[in-house]
Structure 1
């Protein structure tokens, strides 16, 4: 079989298994996804599934990716709300928080679980099969989505704020890493029910902490240019 035909066969089999996984997630939740259950629903054996997915974590990762299309579809709309790079970046955080806290188990699988391999490679494989998910997105947003590492994604986008005189280059990694830790901390708190936050409370608190972390390193002379209302206050 030629390499081209093998790739077509691989894409076809992926779709069979991921269609089955998607159905299980929609009906039972991602915690109920098993290789055996997915293989049986797709009409194949577990051993066949392992020919295309290394283990259950990989199958769950790819299946979960299907549930992020709402986020990628809305991201350009949120970015348009900002007048400068810092505002756009903060609005992108609002978009991400709204989708991730509404589907915490899905986003935890993608961004927090141990996958046992390089996430960037998995994400690249996903978009080779599902190219349509990227159609229509601006090139800059494609880069953000394809860069799996959260801190790298943040740094990649917010770099333009240096040219705008809003922040200094030395602060980029601090902002990217700090805001990632804020989101992960709140996501862990929500999933483990350490505090009884509603989804909206979790979103608001995360955006407040993200905003406060960022505004501290923004050029004092330009802070008034950052108008991001969702992160301005928090209810105790």
Structure 2
């Protein structure tokens, strides 16, 4: 890496790490451009030399706090051989962690990422490649998919190959399960449901399992 790219990489990480520290100390909703700039030791305008949108900075900082989830979902899915079981297991882990850290998961999977949301995950893992160490290729494909509606597709395509799911049902299964989770998470974040994180995760998984059972072969 040449000096210019190395300097840019360092600056990029300064801001991401500053935002990550604020999230850890005060929560994701407390992050502002001014706070990040002050903590990193630069003025606010400098940040926009490295991030097209504030939401991108928040996305990358939130990803720094998802390492435990990515490690755990990989571990659990590796214990399954049936693709549909892997899909169910992935959802169980996703619900468990997302309702424990709703603002983090909202920043990564729901928040408006502006006009240029593509390839953000690839860029993140380019700067933090160690976060993907030992992740199997099939799971890696799901983790690298920016569009949350498509994240389960590699696993569901294998479920079709194994005969546990019809090809024409992939899109419906993937989309409906995502919509269930998004609705529950938004209600949870906005205090529209009276539930603990564990209860919200359990209720979401009840509906996800219902959909999977109805659509599987």
TM-score, normalising length: structure 2? 0.95
How well do the aligned residues superpose, as a CA RMSD in angstroms? 1.3
TM-score, normalising length: structure 1? 0.88
Structure 2 Cα separation of the partners of residues 120 and 207 of structure 1: 29
For the 8 Å contact 2:84–2:155, the answer to whether it is kept is no
For the 8 Å contact 2:77–2:90, the answer to whether it is kept is yes
Say if 1:118 and 1:209 are closer, same or farther in 2 by CA, change over 3 A.
farther
Q: Which residue does the alignment assign to 1:211?
A: 209
Q: Which residue does the alignment assign to 2:112?
A: 114
For the 8 Å contact 1:161–1:167, the answer to whether it is kept is yes
Higher-RCO chain (CA-CA 8 Å, sequence separation at least 6): 2
Q: Which residue does the alignment assign to 2:198?
A: 200
For the 8 Å contact 1:120–1:146, the answer to whether it is kept is no
Q: Which residue does the alignment assign to 2:133?
A: 135
Structure 2 Cα separation of the partners of residues 122 and 85 of structure 1: 27
Q: Which residue does the alignment assign to 1:126?
A: 124
Where does the alignment leave 5 or more consecutive residues of structure 2 unmatched? none
Shift of 1:85: 0.7
SS in structure 2 of the partner of residue 108 of structure 1: helix
Q: Which residue does the alignment assign to 1:174?
A: 172
Q: Which residue does the alignment assign to 1:19?
A: 17
Q: Which residue does the alignment assign to 2:48?
A: 50
Write the mapping of 1:1-236 to structure 2, written as runs, cut at 5 A.
4-219=2-217
For the 8 Å contact 1:81–1:91, the answer to whether it is kept is no
1:15-65 per-position Cα deviation (integer Å, ceiling 9, x unaligned): 111121111111111111111111111111112111111232111111111
